């Protein structure tokens, strides 16, 4: 089996072939022939396949210790041991497994929505799965809160007035500032619900533990909604997305179209977006693009004749665009029409996520009995928003 470094080196060799095709056509001042275009696309498909394998392996490695990090610490050595030698966590997990199989709620806590509250290990499995599905939870700043609590985020709602020149001994008292004001933005978990259905045969006879199957399914479905909300959410009953213009998040003043055309991203446009973010935030920033945008970016060169996309050949070091890593998302905008967003750049740690660690699961039997299925309704509570608009810019077409 190839290592990550070997896969990156193989991919770099393919990238060199792709660029040779582009450079040859550019030198001869012509477009790609049909044969060249077909060859380029075949190589590009192989590059994409390797890239996804590399990203999955590297992300899995980064998240390898997440499960242990989410487990509550043991206090006083074996104080969590109960009669019979079984740990409290083991008892909860066994009770939860029995609930998923039979619907029995004995020894389980019931949430406000009527579902069984999941044990810590199950929650860890779901969250670990979500992180493998979406980059936003991995890259953002995440706060765990309880119940109906919220995060109050102070922000500058109105700037201070400019300073004024005056004589050494002013003729009148210096007027106080009356415009500078602060407000507080609330980030409070909203309800995120997903129903997954499994066949009764799978539930009863699977070689895998039922809780692992349900956790994987919930993580897959919740993860997609999670990422979409944090990129495109309206902020009303759902997260406030990076691509949603809002005075409570990233205002339209952070939109950058300078240098771009009405249908294409350009080198000058990328530079304008990147340099519009202050250096303190820029050093930790990364790009967000749809796959369609990344395909275009692979062909763009800078003023020095070098491609803006730089694939990495070192394990643990991500591919870069203009010296910064990038995140690929199917939920990023990909309509290349005048005035629309086609990407973003920013310090993703300045996007805050608030989560309640309460995860409820309801078991629905009668509703899907005629289809010989059992439904599991998972309810999670989360919210998110950019907390410093200046830490971001959005790439916009002219």
Q: What is the b/e burial string over 207-236, where b = at least 16 CB atoms within 10 angstroms of the residue's CB?
A: eeebbebbbbbbbbbbbbbbbbbbbbbebe
Q: What is the pLDDT of residue 7?
A: 94
- Does some domain include residue 84? no
- Does some domain include residue 96? no
Residue 131's CATH number = 3.90.1690.10
Q: Give the CA radius of gyration of the chain.
A: 26
Shared domain check, 128 and 37:
no
- Cα-based angle 112, 229, 72 (whole degrees, multiple of 5): 50
Nearest to 116 by CA among 127, 126, 106: 106
> Sign of dihedral through CA atoms 263, 388, 158, 174?
negative
Q: What is the pLDDT of residue 161?
A: 67
Shared domain check, 318 and 219:
yes
For residue 131, the SS3 value is helix
Number of structural domains the chain divides into:
2
For residue 359, the SS3 value is strand
Shared domain check, 19 and 155:
no
Shared domain check, 297 and 214:
yes
Please count the helices (runs of H) and the strands (runs of E) in the chain.
Answer: 11, 14
Residue 137 contacts residue 348 (beta carbons within 8 Å) = no
Shared domain check, 326 and 203:
yes
- Does some domain include residue 246? yes
Q: What is the b/e burial string over 295-333, where b = at least 16 CB atoms within 10 angstroms of the residue's CB?
A: ebbbebeeeeeebbbebbbeeeebbbbbebebbbbebbb
Pairing of strands 324-328, 286-289: parallel
Q: How many whole angstroms separate alpha carbon 87 and alpha carbon 81?
A: 4
Q: Which residues pair with 379 in a beta bridge?
A: 193, 360
- Does some domain include residue 308? yes
Residue 119 DSSP one-character state? P
Shared domain check, 234 and 151:
yes
Helix (H) or strand (E) holding 98: helix 88-102
Q: Which residues pair with 345 in a beta bridge?
A: 287, 393
- Does some domain include residue 53? no
Nearest to 343 by CA among 356, 331, 354, 332: 332
Shared domain check, 28 and 142:
no
Q: What is the pLDDT of residue 257?
A: 98
Phi-psi map region of 46: left, alpha, beta (phi>0 left; psi -120 to 50 alpha): alpha
Domain that holds residue 210: 118-160+178-397
- Does some domain include residue 65? no
Shared domain check, 381 and 248:
yes
Torsion angle, alpha carbons of 195, 196, 200, 202, to 10: -160
Q: What is the pLDDT of residue 205?
A: 75
Q: What is the pLDDT of residue 10?
A: 95
Shared domain check, 126 and 41:
no
Shared domain check, 31 and 132:
no
Directed axis angle between helix 210-232 and helix 88-102, to 10°?
90
Edge-first strand listing for the sheet containing 324-328: 255-256, 392-396, 341-346, 286-289, 324-328, 320-321, 309-310
Within 13 A of 344's CA, how many CA atoms are on the CB side? 28
Shared domain check, 344 and 208:
yes
- Does some domain include residue 103? no
pLDDT tens, per residue, the chain with 398 residues:
889 999 999 999 999 999 999 999 999 999 999 999 999 999 999 999 999 899 888 877 765 544 444 444 434 433 333 334 445 667 767 777 777 777 666 656 666 555 556 677 777 788 778 887 889 988 999 988 876 567 776 665 555 666 777 777 776 766 666 666 666 677 888 888 888 888 888 877 776 778 788 888 888 888 888 899 999 999 999 999 999 999 989 999 999 999 999 999 999 999 999 999 999 999 999 999 999 999 999 999 999 999 999 998 888 888 999 999 999 999 999 999 999 999 999 999 999 999 886 778 888 878 888 888 888 888 888 999 999 999 999 999 99
Count of other CB atoms within 10 angstroms of residue 180:
12
Q: What is the pLDDT of residue 294?
A: 96
Beta strands in the chain (DSSP E): 116-117, 141-145, 151-158, 181-187, 190-199, 255-256, 286-289, 309-310, 320-321, 324-328, 341-346, 351-364, 373-386, 392-396
Tokens 């210096």, residue?
174
Q: Cβ neighbours of residue 77 under 8 Å, at least 6 residues apart? A: none
Q: What is the pLDDT of residue 280?
A: 93
DSSP 3-70: -HHHHHHHHHHHHHHHHHHHHHHHHTTSPPPHHHHHHHHHHHHHHHHHHHHHHHHHHHHHTTTHHHHH
Residue 9 contacts residue 31 (beta carbons within 8 Å) = no
- Does some domain include residue 312? yes
Shared domain check, 35 and 145:
no
Q: What is the pLDDT of residue 77?
A: 39
Q: Is 73 exposed, middle or buried (0-12, 13-18, 19+ CB in 10 A)?
A: exposed
């Amino acid at each position: 089996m190839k290592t990550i470094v070997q896969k990156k080196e193989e991919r770099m060799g393919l990238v060199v072939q792709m660029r040779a095709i582009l450079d040859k056509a550019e030198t001869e001042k012509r477009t790609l022939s049909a044969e060249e275009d077909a060859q380029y696309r075949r190589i590009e498909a192989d590059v994409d396949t390797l890239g996804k394998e590399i990203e999955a392996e590297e992300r899995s490695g980064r998240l390898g210790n997440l499960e242990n990090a989410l487990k509550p610490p043991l206090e006083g050595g074996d104080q969590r041991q109960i009669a019979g030698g079984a740990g409290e966590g083991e008892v909860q997990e066994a009770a939860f497994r029995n609930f998923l199989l039979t619907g029995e709620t004995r020894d389980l806590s019931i949430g406000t929505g009527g579902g069984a509250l999941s044990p810590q290990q199950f929650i860890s499995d779901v969250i670990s799965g979500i992180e493998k599905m979406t980059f936003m939870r991995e890259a953002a700043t995440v706060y765990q809160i309880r119940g109906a609590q919220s995060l109050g985020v102070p922000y500058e709602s109105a700037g201070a007035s400019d300073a004024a020149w005056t004589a050494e001994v002013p003729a009148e008292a210096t007027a106080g500032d009356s415009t500078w004001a602060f407000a507080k933005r609330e980030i409070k978990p909203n309800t995120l619900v997903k129903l997954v259905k499994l066949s009764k045969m799978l539930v009863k006879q699977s070689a895998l533990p039922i809780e692992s199957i349900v956790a994987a399914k919930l993580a897959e479905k919740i993860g997609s909604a999670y990422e979409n909300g944090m990129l495109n959410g309206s902020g009303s009953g759902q997260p406030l997305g990076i691509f949603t213009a809002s005075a409570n998040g990233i205002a339209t003043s952070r939109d950058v179209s300078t240098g771009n055309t009405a249908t294409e991203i350009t080198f000058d446009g990328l530079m304008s977006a990147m340099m519009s973010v202050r250096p303190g935030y820029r050093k930790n920033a990364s790009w967000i693009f749809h796959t369609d945008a990344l395909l275009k970016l692979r062909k763009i060169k800078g003023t020095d004749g070098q491609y803006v996309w730089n694939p990495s050949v070192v394990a643990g070091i991500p591919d870069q665009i203009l010296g910064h890593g990038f995140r690929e998302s199917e939920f990023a905008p990909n309509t290349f029409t005048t005035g629309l967003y086609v990407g973003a750049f920013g310090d993703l740690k300045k996007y805050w996520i608030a989560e309640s660690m309460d995860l409820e699961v309801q078991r629905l039997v009668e509703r899907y009995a005629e289809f010989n299925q059992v439904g599991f309704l998972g309810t999670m509570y989360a919210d998110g928003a950019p907390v410093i608009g200046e830490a971001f810019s959005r790439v916009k077409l002219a």
